[in-house]
């Protein structure tokens, strides 16, 4: 049988390069995206690239939305509006366009998995790099919405890689004094488990490299997951909250 096909954006360096290489070593035919191949915010370029991939391979089994940027680590009042919006476009419009373009092919095939590289910053309140944090929070909602296509055989996951030592993280003020980094191998381990279908119970949810393992996630899923587990949502003040 032909090798399974994976599309990985932002794969020319950093986490994307590590993940693409791990998939290749696992037997995937990997299509590596970069700004020179198809800028993720350019609808025409994305559609042309995905169409070319499908024309050559006949299908796409796995999409990894990895391409992302971070805005300057300053408070909202000091942020640059153009940089702020560009960050949101790369981190949110990019995964949306790739997902929207790849999804029909997966639905037609009756199978597929989409992995969005997310961050714990999506779930915390910060007043620096707000575009990054907001875009990652919105990405979590996109993952949850995409996961509703499980009825068509397509599942979606948020994969938080922890803090991998890359050009982006090394340049961040927040990690200036960091001495412990997440190993790329543990991120790849989770991605490969998702790709093999071992973590399908986590459809629409967040998994975090460095804290979660395939074994711990499977064990937790066996205990049963509630609708809100590892998802982004409103926390009520108690049982008497009218929003409950």
Evaluate whether 65 touches 114 at the Cβ level (below 8 Å).
yes
28, 126, 132, 170: the active-site residue? 132
Q: Which member of 28, 96, 136, 170 is catalytic?
A: 136
How many Å from the N-terminal Cα to the C-terminal Cα in the chain?
A: 50
Locate the DSSP E strands across 46-95: 62-65
**DSSP state for residue 123 in the 8-state scheme:** G
Token reading at 167: 């050009």
Query: For residues 149 and 157, what is the distance between their CA atoms, to the nearest angstrom?
Result: 12
- Asked if 132 is an active-site residue, the reply is yes
Q: Please give the Cα distance from 78 to 192 (Å, whole number).
A: 40
For residue 38, what are the contacts with CB-CB under 8 A and spacing of at least 6? 45, 46, 48, 49
Q: How far apart are CA 62 and CA 159, in angstroms?
A: 14
Beta strands across the sheet bearing 62-65: 29-32, 5-8, 62-65, 112-117, 154-160, 206-208
218 is known as an active-site residue: no
Scanning the structure block, which residue is given the tokens 């198809």?
Answer: 38
**What phi and psi, each to the nearest 5 degrees, are found at residue 130?**
-65, -30
Nearest by Cα to 11 from 23, 25, 26, 2: 23
Which positions are annotated as active-site residues? 132, 136
């Amino acid at each position: 049988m032909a090798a399974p096909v994976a599309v990985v954006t932002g794969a020319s360096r950093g986490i994307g390069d590590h993940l693409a290489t791990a998939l290749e070593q696992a037997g995937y035919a990997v299509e590596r995206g970069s700004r020179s191949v198809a800028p993720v915010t350019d609808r025409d370029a994305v559609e042309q690239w995905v169409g070319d991939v499908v024309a050559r391979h006949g299908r796409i089994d796995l999409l990894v939305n990895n391409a992302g940027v971070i805005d300057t680590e300053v408070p909202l009042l000091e942020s640059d509006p153009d940089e702020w919006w560009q960050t949101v476009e790369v981190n949110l419009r990019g995964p949306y366009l790739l997902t929207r373009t790849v999804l029909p092919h997966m639905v037609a095939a009756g199978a597929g998995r989409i992995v969005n590289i997310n961050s714990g910053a999506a779930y915390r309140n910060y007043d620096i790099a707000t575009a990054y944090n907001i875009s990652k929070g919105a990405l979590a909602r996109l993952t949850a919405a995409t996961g509703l296509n499980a009825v068509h055989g397509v599942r979606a996951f948020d994969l938080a890689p922890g803090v991998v030592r890359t050009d982006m993280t090394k340049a961040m003020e927040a990690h200036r004094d960091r001495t412990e980094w997440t190993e790329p191998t543990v991120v790849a381990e989770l991605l490969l488990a998702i790709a093999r279908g071992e973590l399908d119970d986590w459809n629409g949810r967040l998994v975090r490299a460095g804290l979660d393992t395939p074994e711990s996630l499977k064990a937790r899923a066996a205990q049963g997951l509630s609708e809100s587990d590892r998802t982004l949502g409103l926390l009520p003040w108690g049982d008497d909250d009218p929003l409950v």
